[in-house]
Amino acid sequence: MAAVDYITNKFICNKKDDVMNNNLDFKKYFPIFSTNNVVFLDSAASSQKPATVIEAELGCYKNQYTNIHRGTYKLALAATTAYENTRIAVQKFINASSAQEIIFTKGATESINLVAYTYGENFINSDDEIVVTICEHHSNLIPWQRVAKKRGAKLKVCYLDENQDFSLNEFQSLLTDKTKLVCITHLANGLGLEFPIKEIIKLTQRDTTAKILIDGAQIVAHKKVDMQDLGCDFFVFSAHKVYGPSGVGVLYAKEELLKIMPPFLTGGEMVKEVSVTETIFNDLPYKFEAGTPNIAGVIAFKAALEFVSGVGLDKISAHEEILIKKLEDELQVIPGLKILGAKDKHQSLLCFVLENISPYDLATFLDNQGVAIRVGHHCAQPLINYLGYESSSRISLGCYNTEEDISKVVSAIRLAQKFFN
């Protein structure tokens, strides 16, 4: 069975076969499930936190909190070391070349905006082209709308095929010698479809000189990502979707790009030397980390990465694949229920609409049955409107979900149909 070493804040799974056999009960490592009798199916919005993460953040404030990088006393040195150890942990987690390529932000949204304001506004020119997809989260669309308008560039959108699936042919047709930036999600939060990122990157690099930004917010808690293998220029994600604290994000960027990009924010910490008239900016990665950060949150994020690594992303992925297959199989036979996105291609989440029942009414009904799901446009309004709807219902999984959870939500949906119809 699994165990937690509270001394080192590490999650240890001694019998990993239990995960493959769908027997491991993850819920007991998440305190919220001992105080709330809820079937939680909204992990795509934010995941729950294991005890090790909660204790790591609390432990920072209780035992070693102070500001970082500035003090020379023992407490400050200990906090700085713990903070920088998380940076190294992130580097290893995504296999970046150097810890200097890891920038801490408040979340994936800020990470994308950092690239938009610093790279986009300085290296995208008039008549250049930026390629996105119809499936992008607003955070990976609005910044590029802004850059395109400000710089006189063209924003091109890749739509879905007739099966509501990503089309490499459609994507390739958008690439030209004017393409300078490709910004694309790895896993679409409004559909649950994993895009063929490696093929997308290869096509882009073969046919253009464009830089590539990958929104990895929805993928990193479910599957291993490797920056050396992918070869993208920018990759962003948020800690709170990987069982970590909120208010912590990551921007990975190739070192040669970070060196030519100006700072996003200015002020304390991101400077090396300041006079009344001139400033010399700090070395990487601190050049992009102005001000006092979320110190305790970053330190606790290491515990989240250790939890995921201790279990193994391959085991988590296998566990969730069983659940999403069961969910899709059981939902698609419900009369009047339509699953959005290509059939049998969903990863960790799926969205659906139910005939004659508002998603908001459905969510309220399910909540009264002890089942928590997300409804709305999921910060992907262009996608939902493109599919012909104003809103949809979304079920998204975490490692703590079980086959019993799937049975409960399906039963609750069927009960809702009887109630409303």
d(CA 58, CA 131): 42
The rounded Cα 40 to chain-centroid distance in angstroms is: 18
* Structure confidence at residue 269 (pLDDT): 84
Least confident of 21-30, 133-142, 289-298, 343-352: 21-30
Residue 412 forms part of a structural domain: no
Look at residue 9 and tell me whether its pLDDT is greater than 80: no
Question: Which of these, 351, 359, 362, lies nearest to 413 by C-alpha position?
Answer: 362
Residue 307 has pLDDT above 50, yes or no: yes
Average pLDDT, the chain: 93
Amino acid identity, position 9? N
**Stretch 143-156: mean pLDDT:** 98
Q: Is 294 exposed, middle or buried (0-12, 13-18, 19+ CB in 10 A)?
A: buried
Is residue 167 in a domain? yes
Residues 289-310, mean pLDDT to the nearest whole number: 96
Would 158 be classed as within a structural domain? yes
Question: What is the reported pLDDT for 20?
Answer: 36
Domain membership of residue 347 (yes or no) is no
> Model confidence over 229-274: pLDDT tens digits?
999 999 999 999 999 999 999 999 999 999 999 999 988 888 888 8
13 assigned to active site: no
Does a structural domain hold residue 244?
A: yes
Q: Which of 183, 351, 379, 399 is catalytic?
A: 379
Confirm whether 104 is domain-assigned: yes
pLDDT digits (tens, 9 = 90+) for 344-383: 899 999 999 999 999 999 999 999 999 999 999 999 999 9
The Cα 302–Cα 206 span in angstroms is 36
User: pTM for this structure?
Assistant: 0.94
Number of structural domains (the chain) is 1
pLDDT category of residue 24 using cuts at 50, 70 and 90: low
CATH code where residue 259 lies: 3.40.640.10
* Mean pLDDT (whole number) for 96-123: 98
Indicate if the pLDDT at residue 16 is higher than 80: no
State which H helix or E strand residue 251 sits in: strand 249-253
What tokens appear for 323 in the block? 């659940």
CB atoms closer than 10 angstroms to residue 55: 18
Tokens 């408040």 locate to 106
In a domain, 10, yes or no: no
Query: Is residue 15 very low, low, confident or very high in pLDDT (cuts 50, 70, 90)?
Result: very low
d(CA 265, CA 311): 37
Q: Domain containing 183: what range?
A: 74-308
Q: Does residue 220 fall inside a structural domain? A: yes
